[in-house]
Homo-oligomer: A and B are copies of this chain.
Amino acid sequence: MKRIVVLGSTGSIGVQTLDVVRSLPDSFAVVGLAAGWNHGLLESQLAESSARMAWDRGGGGFRNGARRVSMEDMVTEPDVDLVMVATTGRAGLAPTLAALRAGKQVALANKEVIVMAGELVTETAREHGAALLPVDSEPSAIWQCLRGEELPARKLILTASGGPFRTRPLAEIAGATPDEALAHPTWAMGRKISVDSATLMNKGFEVIECRWLFSVPYERIEVVVHPQSVVHSMVELADGSVKAQLGPPDMRLPIQHALSYPDRLANATLPRFSALDAASLTFEPLDEQRYPCFPLALEAGRLGGTYPAVLSAADEVAVQRFLDGRIGFGDIHAVVAGVLDRHETGGDASLEAVLAADDWARREIGEAVRA
């Protein structure tokens, strides 16, 4: 029985994490839940679960009598085995570091945390012997392919669906509406990551994530467009053999894999892969003209230091403004690129430097949009 804290329990990954827990009641127990502003859903999640610790941004009490505990305190409680970090943006960084320092297993769905502070997060995990487990479908696929294999891999091959604008005429992409950007062809996800998947910023984030999780340099990470989202990613091993992990596009499987690791648990509620249903799996080159945010993310990753933190913060704000109708889809790239251009860093990637860079980017983007 693994005792779990879910941070971001009312978001898409949080809700699906609780689905997995509900379907395997003998394997998992929820001991703490934290959310943002969705107090109503958090209350109903608390009513259903055994969690006696809770937190949300609203303040005040909880009807089931759960104790209000900050995320950073919640994750370090002695009876916590695993922390699912399913927050978005920078919110997950401090609790992730706290959980790792306490030696907990950390299932990381909030990839911005590792994008903004990849070295710090992976070093902290190493120092404290804490397991950092990917939840995202692509890094999870790579992690699964590497089970039983010697590290590092010779090459990681991440797949990208290409999002809703893969075949749209180039000239029409910049004017896409939020509804169009949110209509992902294969995955049902939260709003921020759906837009990041339309720009392919998300794929750039995953490359940065994989660079840190699997210690593979950027030049050995390849991305190919795979519109069906069935091959979740591939790994080329030392002898050239390639392994892939496949499955229907459903986040509950990688979520469960992180929760149950190192075991694999049978779960009849999960959809099953069928090669005959898959029928045809195709691969195409990634067109960087169509997805300029992708090379931008990689450039920030390669520059290192606080550039990835600036990238992540600028993207978070830009996507929110796009969703609010304040900037166009095509402006997301321009805004983020502008902020990165103006950033100066001494290469320091400490927590203080990362948070300062994040703050700086948020201030800077404010001006950028007004200009």
Interfacial residues, chain A to chain B (CB-CB below 8 A): 144-145, 147-150, 154, 157, 222, 224, 226, 231, 234, 236-247, 253, 256-257, 260, 263-267, 270-273, 275-276, 278-285
Contact A267 B281, beta carbon cutoff 8 Å: no
Given that A238-B265, A243-B246 are contacting pairs, would A283 and B273 also be in contact in the complex, using a CB cutoff of 8 Å?
A: no
Shortest CB-to-CB span from A248 to chain B, Å, is 9
With the chains together, A236 CA to B280 CA distance in Å? 19
With the chains together, A119 CA to B236 CA distance in Å? 34
Given that A147-B149, A157-B275, A282-B280 are contacting pairs, would A253 and B267 also be in contact in the complex, using a CB cutoff of 8 Å?
A: no
Contacts of A243 in B (CB 8 A): 144-145, 243-246
Shortest CB-to-CB span from A150 to chain B, Å, is 7
A150 (CB) vs chain B CBs: closest residue: B264
With the chains together, A231 CA to B280 CA distance in Å? 12
Contact A284 B276, beta carbon cutoff 8 Å: yes
Partner of A246, one of B222, B244, B272: B244
With the chains together, A266 CA to B150 CA distance in Å? 13
Partner of A280, one of B222, B276, B280: B280
Given that A243-B243, A270-B239 are contacting pairs, would A148 and B150 also be in contact in the complex, using a CB cutoff of 8 Å?
A: no
